[in-house]
Amino acid sequence: MTTQQQVWFITGSSRGFGRALVEAALEAGHRVVATARRPQQLDDLVATYGERVAPVALDVTDASAARTAIDEAVARFGRIDVVVNNAGYANVAPIETSDEADFRAQFETNFWGVFNVTRAAIPQLRAQGGGLVIQFSSVGGRVGGSPGIASYQAAKFAVDGFTRVLAVETAPFGIRTMVVEPSGFATDWAGSSMQVHDIPDEYQQTVGAMNSRMRQTGSRPAGDPKRAAEIIVRAAARQNVPSHLLVGVNAVEMSIAYSKRQLAEAEAWRQVSRSADFAEPYPAEQPADVAV
């Protein structure tokens, strides 16, 4: 058991990363409020861990339900030390032909669900003198550009921007934040929970190819959710947590390469960009227009 027992509040606990995190936190000696749309899916955890785990029904798109779930957590364990916004899903379709209702529904869970739970938790965290908010994003929420999952990736970018502001606003209250950015892991994210809508012939080389890589190859994703969950639980026990935690080889290598490209582009356009201010020399010569 850890030297300091924490109370974790985890959304999307029935499977995938959420389930792995519930188990890792419990194995580390913590207490967990495990939320899911159907909390009976967590009965086996109650049988194993007893009163240290409290299953709670929660649809994260319902703001009032989020407030109720936070209240239930505090009533059960007296406080909340770590809030994990993990619930989320992605469906596949090109932007041009995507169904607007489906696009919005994904955003409701992937962004507004994070907003609802975070907003419901802040008063409790502030009143008790602090806590940690962990937001699940994706390496795609940093690098972007994955054909077919525009709603999901747009939401993950929004979660990152939202959390950067949250971190600054709530730091005086002792509230800390950590954005988790995984690459591909052996969960059901690209399995039965993902709907693939019609992909027109014109998008087979982009959306179709991406869908094949995600769902139709014989090999499993490289990431082990059990290892990742244990890493996150250990990181959450630190005094100084990373603002962004990459998990998985592809997440690390893709992010480093992306940051290098960003920096190189900013340097190449530095004088042109600076020239927009009154005090700077104008016009500035643009960099050579060569194909990349």
Percent of the chain past pLDDT 70, that is, above it, reads: 94
Residue 270 lies in a domain: no
Of 1, 124, 18, the C-alpha closest to 70 is: 124
Contact status, residue 182 vs residue 139, Cβ threshold 8 Å:
yes
Of 184, 244, 197, 143, the C-alpha closest to 16 is: 184
260 is catalytic: no
Report the domain count for the chain: 1
Contact status, residue 10 vs residue 29, Cβ threshold 8 Å:
no
Cα Rg for the chain, rounded, in angstroms? 21
Task: State the catalytic residue, choosing from 138, 151, 156, 183.
Answer: 156
Contact status, residue 182 vs residue 17, Cβ threshold 8 Å:
yes
Residue 282 lies in a domain: no
Residue 41 lies in a domain: yes
Task: State the catalytic residue, choosing from 137, 146, 151, 183.
Answer: 137
- Report residue 2's pLDDT band, with 50, 70 and 90 as the boundaries: very low
User: What span, in angstroms and rounded, lies between the C-alpha atoms of 249 and 256?
Assistant: 11
Residue 83 lies in a domain: yes
Task: State the catalytic residue, choosing from 13, 98, 138, 152.
Answer: 152
Residue 263 lies in a domain: no
- Report residue 191's pLDDT band, with 50, 70 and 90 as the boundaries: low
Residue 2 lies in a domain: no
Indicate the range of 3-7, 49-53, 119-123 predicted with least confidence. 3-7
SS3 of residue 18 by DSSP: helix
Residue 162 is part of which domain span?
Answer: 7-247
Indicate the range of 42-51, 84-93, 219-228, 256-265 predicted with least confidence. 219-228
Sheet holding 175-182, edge to edge: 53-57, 31-36, 7-10, 82-85, 131-136, 175-182, 244-247
What pLDDT score was predicted for residue 194? 77
Whichever domain contains 196, its CATH number is 3.40.50.720
33-42 mean pLDDT: 94
Q: How many of the other CB atoms lie within 10 Å of CB of 286?
A: 10
Contact status, residue 90 vs residue 151, Cβ threshold 8 Å:
yes
pLDDT, tens digit (0-9, with 9 covering 90-100), for 198-243: 898 999 999 988 888 765 555 566 899 999 999 999 999 999 999 9
- Report residue 111's pLDDT band, with 50, 70 and 90 as the boundaries: very high
Residue 268 lies in a domain: no
- Report residue 189's pLDDT band, with 50, 70 and 90 as the boundaries: low
* pLDDT top residue among 287 and 189: 287
Residue 214 lies in a domain: yes
List b or e across 152-171, with b for residues whose CB sees 16 or more CB atoms inside 10 angstroms: bbbbbbbbbebbeebbeebe
137 is catalytic: yes
Of 186, 207, 185, the C-alpha closest to 198 is: 207
